A and B are shown apart, each in its own frame.
Chain A
């Protein structure tokens, strides 16, 4: 759930490495990879094989699932299955984009704060504190409302919500790393601060960020859908999963309209969670505390 997005950071610190021998790990990582690649393949090749077009009226109105329409049709006679598949094209790029932007901004600001300290640190960290004190969903709602509906604006809203998490994470890592011997050694042989930051500190700090990013991807997928559900995300007629669930909520007894997009969100979020867990074990991260 997106609203607890700050919590996974604790997991990185505490969770023990479980070994690859664990059957749970093997199964989940394989499942995560399979589902993720499924959606990736769908995303890329969909236009060639999709049963219908996502915006076309096909068949009758609000038809129950059948062989022709695996998940039925919606009120405008569009094939729900096709629309759900196309929904990946809306959600996945946006989610990846949000995480990439948030990690980039967070890394830059966080490492500056951690490495240089002083007023840079206080400014950045105050900003981080205030943003984090805002419940993520409120902040995203407010920003999206101020910018107007649209997936693009939802994108900005989510970056604003997510960057402080990475800024705080990276700052902590940089602070922890910068006193290590090999970095002190680099300082003593006269390397510039920029060089040290780039060559020595960041690579070490980046691993936890990567793990978190994978775990967070699922949360961003959910938040994207949430904003659309609240009417602040994708505009009609685009087949966005959250917006499709809103449509489906109105046709409560025609339950199929909302089922497929919900399952889509679930599989994507779950597989990113699996992958994040697996990545953590593979990269063998242990916080020193």
Chain B
């Protein structure tokens, strides 16, 4: 480092002081804007804004560890959050399901104990016409938003139309909607173009929760057809909520925590048990476990099955391993660039038979998972009775020689570098690589970021990849719509080579879906089962493991559950004693 002995130093002194001054000034001004903007609430750019409302702890309770206000326990949940939006109509993520369910309410909800049983929530009763095109809901006249105003049919209409028109990831749930009649404030009548027997379970999906339309509209929200571009409320929803649920949004700091407060005016029978709920961003399983052990967290949502043993013998902590409807799968895309060898369905079948599923389930989740037959997860209507995938190395070899590929070949396997539902994709793909090497198929593994993955799968497709899926609602239709080779299905397009290729098509699946949506009971179940078999025969989606879930909480927390529609319904949680 050479020193300047000449006169340049003063200029540097001046420059240094000047830049320093600018920084100090900008810090100062931003601080000022945060404190002045926060109390007014509107348009505040600060997520931690409500410092005004949380102030009591800072001033009156100098102990710092917040003395629970009113003597009640504040709930802390550890979770690796994947929030894409806190605007319910634009949101689409697992954590969003928890948030949406706590803050907004759906007309119907699903019994956590039995996913096929619907329970009333904002609606007291509902009925479908005989051909499943018109649905009528009677709203509970007692239902009130957090600001005290009545939940009316116009709010339902606004929320559902906005969901459809915002064109977010969950907008597909409103596909086929023709009109909503809100002429009677307590009656909602929704009409579809075509039979849609899946709609009642869809109504229970967290994304169909009801927004206070007056409040949202005042913040620039709109349900008009051009909502995707005209709606301006997205930023407002990052710091505010407008629902009728047991909790309200207090603040959200990306990468840190999501804080909910009790809705003191909650109208429902089961009053919210906690004055405040904090979902803390805790990324790794081991920290989640430590905090649960020490009581710093009440619930830890992603403790890995390999770590659970550490909690044994700790009476303060209760763990339970339950079945879930989540699964991870690999997908074969014959239309993708480099996937030409996969165009022969026997080759795809050979790959499926070459995978050692039991070994994979052991390696990935220490055996805490199940094999799954088709893209329809175990427990959903249409999943029963389908043949589970079998590891059959000899048959796989035979199939490959029949296809003239006994000497093997190479396949590109690009997948998101993710760890979802306790499954590490790097591990899973290495395991599959090991298995396929035995039939001389050489998988070239490339883990990439999710953004990159989405770009690639949409552009040209990826021959072999790995993904995960959790249900949006409790009807089987979503799996055919996403995995089936039918028009507008994600995998029909991607397996066909993305934008560069031609979507794959299996007309039987379109018919079966239509059949199922127009029927109910056994006929519906039969149609879904047949569709499941069709998807198995497509040999596009190969589910690897239907994962189980570790429910881990402090022993004094009551009501721990896993819900098919909503992941975890915070309103059902309570405190023992």
Contacts and interface: CB of A to CB of B under 8 A. Distances in A.
Interface of A: 10, 55, 57, 61-62, 75-77, 145, 148-150, 172, 231, 235-237, 246-247, 249-254
Contacts of B362: 61
Contacts of A145: 449
Contact of A75 (B427, B434, B449): B427
Contact of A237 (B2, B310, B419, B445): B445
A249 B284 contact: yes
B447 A149 contact: yes
Contact of A62 (B2, B306, B447): B306
Interface residues on B, range: 20 to 34
Interface string B417-439: 10100001011011101100000
Contacts of A148: 446, 448
Given A75-B424, A250-B285, A253-B310, 11 more contacts: A62-B306, A76-B363, A76-B434, A150-B446, A236-B433, A236-B447, A237-B445, A246-B426, A247-B424, A249-B284, A253-B306
B28 to A, nearest CB: 27
Contacts of B446: 148-150, 235
Given A55-B434, A148-B446, A76 B427 contact: yes
A252 B286 contact: yes
B363 A61 contact: yes
B95 interface: no
9 contacts: A76-B427, A172-B2, A235-B445, A236-B430, A236-B447, A237-B445, A246-B426, A249-B284, A250-B424
A237 B433 contact: yes
B426 A57 contact: no
Which 9 A-B pairs give the minimum distances between C-beta atoms? A252-B286, A237-B430, A231-B417, A236-B426, A236-B430, A236-B445, A253-B307, A75-B427, A76-B363
B364 interface: yes
Interface string B515-559: 000000000000000000000000000000000000000000000
Contacts of B306: 62, 251, 253-254
Contacts of B417: 231
B427 A252 contact: no
A61 B366 contact: yes
B411 to A, nearest CB: 14
A231 B434 CA distance: 21
A94 B284 CA distance: 31
Contacts of B285: 250, 252
B448 A75 contact: no
Interface in B272-328: 284-286, 304, 306-307, 309-310
B3 to A, nearest CB: 9
B13 interface: no
A235 B364 CA distance: 19
B1 interface: yes
B449 to A, nearest CB: 8
B419 A57 contact: no
Most chain B CB atoms below 10 A, which of A62, A75, A149, A150: A75
Contacts of A251: 304, 306
A169 B409 CA distance: 49
A144 B424 CA distance: 22
Nearest to B3: A289
Contacts of A247: 424, 426-427
B545 to A, nearest CB: 14
Interface in B306-361: 306-307, 309-310
A10 B3 CA distance: 13
